[in-house]
Amino acid sequence: MFHRLPRAAAGVALVFALAGCSSSATPAPTTAPTTAAMSGSVVMIPKQINNPYFDVAFKGAQSAATALGGTLTQVGPSAADATQQIPFIQTATTQGAKAIIVSADDANAIAPALKAAMAAGIKVVGYDSSPAVGAYNVFVNQADTAGIGKGLADMACDEAPSCTGEIAVLSAAQTATNQNAWIAAMQDTLKGSKYAGLVWDGVYYGNDDPTISTQQTQAMLAAHPNLKVIVAPTTVGIVAAAQVVTSQNLIGKVFVTGLGTPMGMQAFVKSGVSPEFALWNVTDLGYLAYAVAVDLVTGQIKGNPGDTFTVPSLNGGQPYTIGADSVVVLGPPFVFNTSNIDQYVASFGF
C-alpha cells in the first residue's frame, strides 16, 4: 500500500518491490555487516541522460561514491532507446569497469551485452527498470509491482468522481520493463468490484520524451472526450499530461495522477490538476544501487537470494535481504498531496 501520512524529513521515500518468480535452491544467507569501501570505476547507464529522474538518482549514487569509494561515471543515450544503450555497456566492458549500474530500456535487448560484461568479471546492478533475469547480479527495485499497481488504481479511483468514468494510461516506452509490469498489475487490480465504475481507455506511449508525451496526451484527450483521469507512471509523462490538461483549460474536468517528482509536480498539485501522485526517494535509489555494486565488487555479497547486507544511512540501519531473482527492494511507497508536497520540495529539492 502507498503511505499517505506525512513522514519525517529523513523518510521521503517511496518504494516498491518486484516480486520475482521463485528460483532453484536458495543458498545459505551471507551477511555483510556494512558496506565496504572500494577502488575502481563504476559506470552508471540510465535509460537516458538529461532526464530529471535519472539525474536525481545519479546524485544519490555520487553521494554513495563519496562515502564508499570508487570512481563513478554516468553515460547513456539521449533518448530512451535500448539499441543506444548497448554501445555504452560494451564500452564499459572493454574499458574494464568494476561494475555497471543500468536501468533497462528493454530488458531482453541489452541482456547479451550485460552477460558479456558479467563473463568479463564485471558486476552488473540493475536499478529502476530491470534487465532480464540472468543479465544482472542484483536488481535494486524501487517498487513492489503488485503494490504499485494497486496504488495507481486507487489514485485513479480517488480522482475520478465517485470512482466512476473513463481512465487511460500514459506510459514511457512500450518495452519498459517496470512500466509494463505496473500497468499489468493496475489492470489486475481494476478487476475488483471497488473499481467497477472505471472504464479502461487503453495505454498511450510517450517514450519518456516530453514532446512525444505531450502529443500522446493530446491524442488521448481527442480520442476520449469524456476522459476523467490520466494515469502516468513516468516522471516525464505525468508532467507532460498535467501541462496539456492545464493548457486545454480542463482543470477540474480531467485529473492526472501516477508517478512523478515533487518539484516537477508541485504546481499541478496546488492547481488541482493532480490532487495526488506517488514516488519513491530517487536519491536513495541511486545510493542503494551504488552500495550494492560496492558490496558485489568487494565480495561482501554474492547477489544470491537470501544474502543480507546493511547500508547504514538507509532503511533505518536495518539489513536488506536479497529476494527471489536476486531482487532487493528500496523501501515503502509514499503519496504526495497538498498536505506534504511543499515540505518535501523545500527539504529535498527534487
Instruction: State the sign of the Cα–Cα–Cα–Cα dihedral 25, 300, 284, 60.
Output: negative
Residue 309 has pLDDT above 80, yes or no: yes
Give the per-residue pLDDT at 20. Answer: 27
Quickly state the pLDDT bin for 24 (edges 50, 70, 90): very low
**Which has the closest alpha carbon to 196: 153, 145, 148?**
153
| Judgement on whether residues 153 and 139 belong to the same structural domain of the protein | no
| Judgement on whether residues 39 and 127 belong to the same structural domain of the protein | yes
pLDDT, tens digit (0-9, with 9 covering 90-100), for 59-87: 999 999 999 999 999 999 999 899 999 99
| Judgement on whether residues 138 and 193 belong to the same structural domain of the protein | no
Lowest mean pLDDT among 176-190, 252-266, 335-349: 335-349
* 304, 326 Cβ separation under 8 angstroms: yes
In a domain, 5, yes or no: no
| Judgement on whether residues 173 and 320 belong to the same structural domain of the protein | no
Residue 32 has pLDDT above 90, yes or no: no
Residue 173 has pLDDT above 90, yes or no: yes
**Which has the closest alpha carbon to 281: 10, 43, 5?**
10
Quickly state the pLDDT bin for 28 (edges 50, 70, 90): very low
pLDDT, tens digit (0-9, with 9 covering 90-100), for 207-266: 999 999 999 999 999 999 999 999 999 999 999 999 999 999 999 999 999 999 999 999
Q: What's the mean pLDDT in 313-317?
A: 89
CA distance 27 to 106: 29
Cα separations in angstroms, 153 against 17, 190, 233, 271, 287 = 17, 6, 11, 22, 29
CA distance 267 to 108: 37
Q: How many CB atoms lie within 10 A of CB 345?
A: 17
| Judgement on whether residues 259 and 298 belong to the same structural domain of the protein | no
CA distance 328 to 334: 18
- How much of the chain, in percent, has pLDDT values that exceed 70? 89
Q: What mean pLDDT, rounded, does the chain reach?
A: 89
Conformational region of residue 298, where left means phi above 0, alpha means psi within -120 to 50, and beta covers everything else: alpha
* 144, 19 Cβ separation under 8 angstroms: yes
**Which has the closest alpha carbon to 20: 314, 235, 304?**
304
In a domain, 91, yes or no: yes
Give the per-residue pLDDT at 9. Answer: 33
When comparing pLDDT for 180 and 30, which is higher?
180
| Judgement on whether residues 184 and 254 belong to the same structural domain of the protein | yes
Of 248, 278, 308, the residue at which a domain comes to its end is 278
| Judgement on whether residues 212 and 233 belong to the same structural domain of the protein | yes
Structural domain range at position 44:
17-143+281-330
Give the per-residue pLDDT at 334. Answer: 84
In a domain, 175, yes or no: yes
Residue 23 has pLDDT above 70, yes or no: no
In a domain, 319, yes or no: yes
Of 240, 257, 278, the residue at which a domain comes to its end is 278
* 246, 221 Cβ separation under 8 angstroms: no
| Judgement on whether residues 234 and 315 belong to the same structural domain of the protein | no
| Judgement on whether residues 263 and 304 belong to the same structural domain of the protein | no
Residue 57 has pLDDT above 80, yes or no: yes
In a domain, 343, yes or no: no
pLDDT, tens digit (0-9, with 9 covering 90-100), for 262-303: 999 999 999 999 999 999 888 999 999 999 999 999 999 999
In a domain, 335, yes or no: no
Tell me whether residue 17 is exposed, middle or buried, using C-beta atoms within 10 angstroms of its C-beta: 0 to 12, 13 to 18, 19 or more.
Answer: buried
Residue 12: all three cell numbers together: 521521503
| Judgement on whether residues 62 and 107 belong to the same structural domain of the protein | yes
- CATH number of the domain at 101, please: 3.40.50.2300
Provide the CB-side half-sphere exposure for 309 (13 A, CA).
30
CA distance 288 to 310: 10
Q: What total of structural domains would you count in the chain? A: 2
In a domain, 324, yes or no: yes
| Judgement on whether residues 179 and 105 belong to the same structural domain of the protein | no
**Which has the closest alpha carbon to 157: 202, 204, 192?**
192
Q: Which residues of 279-294 are buried (b: 16+ CB within 10 A; e: fewer)?
A: bbbbbbbbbbbbbbbb
CA distance 260 to 335: 10
| Judgement on whether residues 101 and 182 belong to the same structural domain of the protein | no
In a domain, 345, yes or no: no
When comparing pLDDT for 258 and 25, which is higher?
258
